Chain A
Amino acid sequence: MFVIGERINGMFTDIGNAIAARDKKPVQAMAEKQLTAGASALDINVGTRVPKADRPAVMKWLVEAVREVTDKCLSIDNPGLETMRQGVAEAAKGGLPVIINSTIGQQDQLEAFMALAKEFDAGIIGLSIDEKGVAASTDAKVEIGMRTIAAAMEAGVPVENVYLDPIVLPVNVNQTAPGIVIETISQLKMLSDPAPHVVVGLSNLSQGALERRLINRTFLVMAIAAGLDASIHDPLDDEMTDAMITAELLLNKTIYSDSFLKAYRQK
């Protein structure tokens, strides 16, 4: 599993305060903590407290801060193209890996973000959202997925760099949505050969619910069984990590050993 650690996000109080004070230390400590816990990449989101006009500069500062402590992949999380460009350009310096998080499936957006992905040899997350909003059905999600892959091919972005996100919604708002996402994941994996990656922003599933961690990790296991190979979540949640490692083991994606939980964390 390609785990993108979600914790460097201005929406969390600790990181939001650090950003407001331009204090690198809490950000860098969080980066290191997530990587030690096994994260393959780190999501970088300035949050909503930063005024829109300041976001490009703040994103640049935030990426610089994280890049001081890691060469690992950074996922630049922002809807606006200008802020995205600032973050991606900074993160990709020296040819280091970076992911664009994210584009929606509206044609003009797709073209602009795919061009950016091509320019920086970046990965790119394509959401199941278009001008009509979040696609609700499997068919609509898959249709946007197809459009995203077509746009990637058109722009010269390899399918291996594309991460399709079928969008999970809070289960306490729409209880049919999680099942639809599971069905969508298995269909997205069949869209091309090689298959695109499929990613979810997991925590949204349990927004406003009790038992958040249980809901998140149960869904993660179900989604892995359906073909999910990337997830944006909190890698510091040990029970979730254990469940994820075990799901991959049961699908024969890793070799069993009695200390298989430790083996993952020793990598």
Chain B
Amino acid sequence: MKMLEEARGKWVGSLNEVVIGATKQQGGTRTSTVTVGGEKTLPFLAYEGPTKNRPVVAMEIWDREPEDWPNSLMEALGDAVKSPAEWAKKCVEEFCAEMLCLHLMGTHPDFGNASPQSAAAVVKSVLAATGVPLIIWGCDHDETDNEVLPRCSEAAKGEKCLIGAVKEDNYKTLVSFCLADGHSLIGLSPIDINIAKQVNILVSEMGFPLDRMVMYPTTGALGYGLEYVYSIQERSRVAALGGDKMMSMPVICMVGQESWRTKEAKASAEEAAGWGDENTRGVFWEIATATALLQAGSDIMVMRHPAAMTAIKNVINKLVK
């Protein structure tokens, strides 16, 4: 029987490779580093080319104990959430996380208003407790981030962290500090490919190297704009492969944050009878969201539930095999 010819894409561009984390030899204290990007094809099309660096999962931890996370998530994480360093340690030692994303929610004026100094101390404690590369994420309140993140950048100098997020109208402060302290940067755009590109242009105009930038095109969970997010990420990947240097940055997705804010993940058995076991519902929501986004072209998945992370690591391993 005559087989159909494989429809292979022909691409001229590739994603930039970004290295996160620095070992002792590289001027930091990490015991491992993570490299993302470098792809020359749409995701997981092995017949077009190999996946240069497989997508990586970072576990999200907070600088303060979360108050409104559902039981199924809190039970899986246990008491460790009371201390960022313990939480970090548990993620790495027990859940085998390859990377951590420290979300400084406690610095938000409405959510603890922790000082820049205390945030920097948390960063140091997490770096001391674990050896994996670190993502440091502000509280998405521009004024606060501009005070907090520079102190965190200094505190982590030389560790080659990934710090975010800069936006179209708020980028100069953080770009300067990350440039000076050797970190990489996350550029945020509100599900808008044109703004994503603009942020990249603005940041690179300040002399920031393209191979130290990651895009956060904003994530939507299953049932909450996932299709739109998918199409934006896919278009951005196609542009990168077509040679658009200002769209060639790897992509980070806040999968856990978006999945666990859906009512399907949060609702208790009493609130939503007939929706299935509340202990697995949220995990499945996080897995389904992450699986779809992997296919859209995602390089760093920030996730919350250890079981969901393990499942996605298995998915990645099977897809890349």
Task: Name A's B-contacting residues (CB within 8 A).
Answer: 254-259, 262-263, 266-267
Residues of A contacting B157 with CB < 8 Å?
none
> In chain B, residues 245-300, which have Cβ atoms closer than 8 Å to a Cβ of chain A?
245-247
B205 & A263 in contact (Cβ 8 Å cutoff): no
A-B contact number at CB 8 A? 37
A266 & B245 in contact (Cβ 8 Å cutoff): yes
Residues of B contacting A258 with CB < 8 Å?
194, 198
Q: Which 5 A-B pairs have the closest CB atoms?
A: A257-B197, A257-B198, A259-B201, A256-B194, A267-B245
Closest to B197 in A: A257
B246 & A263 in contact (Cβ 8 Å cutoff): yes
Task: Name B's A-contacting residues (CB within 8 A).
Answer: 193-195, 197-198, 201-202, 204-205, 235-236, 239, 243-247
Task: Tell me the complex Cα distance, A254–B193, Å.
Answer: 11
A266 & B194 in contact (Cβ 8 Å cutoff): no
Task: Tell me the complex Cα distance, A31–B202, Å.
Answer: 28
B201 & A262 in contact (Cβ 8 Å cutoff): yes
9 contacts between A and B (CB under 8 A): A254-B244, A255-B197, A257-B194, A257-B195, A257-B198, A257-B201, A258-B194, A263-B197, A266-B245
Task: Tell me the complex Cα distance, A174–B89, Å.
Answer: 78
Closest to A262 in B: B201
Task: Tell me the complex Cα distance, A267–B240, Å.
Answer: 12
Residues of B contacting A266 with CB < 8 Å?
201, 204-205, 245-246
Closest to B202 in A: A259
Q: How far is the CB of B226 from chain A (nearest CB, A)?
A: 21
Closest to B247 in A: A255
Residues of A contacting B197 with CB < 8 Å?
255-257, 263
Interface residue from A255, A262, A263 paired with B193 (Cβ < 8 Å): A255
> Can you name 13 extra interface pairs (CB under 8 A) apart from A255-B239, A257-B198?
A254-B239, A255-B193, A255-B244, A256-B194, A256-B197, A257-B195, A257-B197, A258-B198, A262-B201, A262-B205, A263-B246, A267-B245, A267-B246
Closest to A253 in B: B242
Residues of B contacting A262 with CB < 8 Å?
201, 205
Closest to B239 in A: A255
A263-B239 CB under 8 A given contacts A255-B194, A255-B244, A257-B194 = no
Closest to B236 in A: A255
Q: How far is the CB of A40 from chain B (nearest CB, A)?
A: 10
A263-B194 CB under 8 A given contacts A254-B244, A255-B247, A257-B246 = no
Q: How far is the CB of A23 from chain B (nearest CB, A)?
A: 34
Residues of B contacting A263 with CB < 8 Å?
197, 201, 246
Q: How far is the CB of B231 from chain A (nearest CB, A)?
A: 13
Most buried by B among A256, A257, A259, A263: A257
Residues of A contacting B246 with CB < 8 Å?
257, 263, 266-267
Task: Tell me the complex Cα distance, A253–B243, Å.
Answer: 11
Residues of A contacting B239 with CB < 8 Å?
254-255
Residues of A contacting B193 with CB < 8 Å?
255
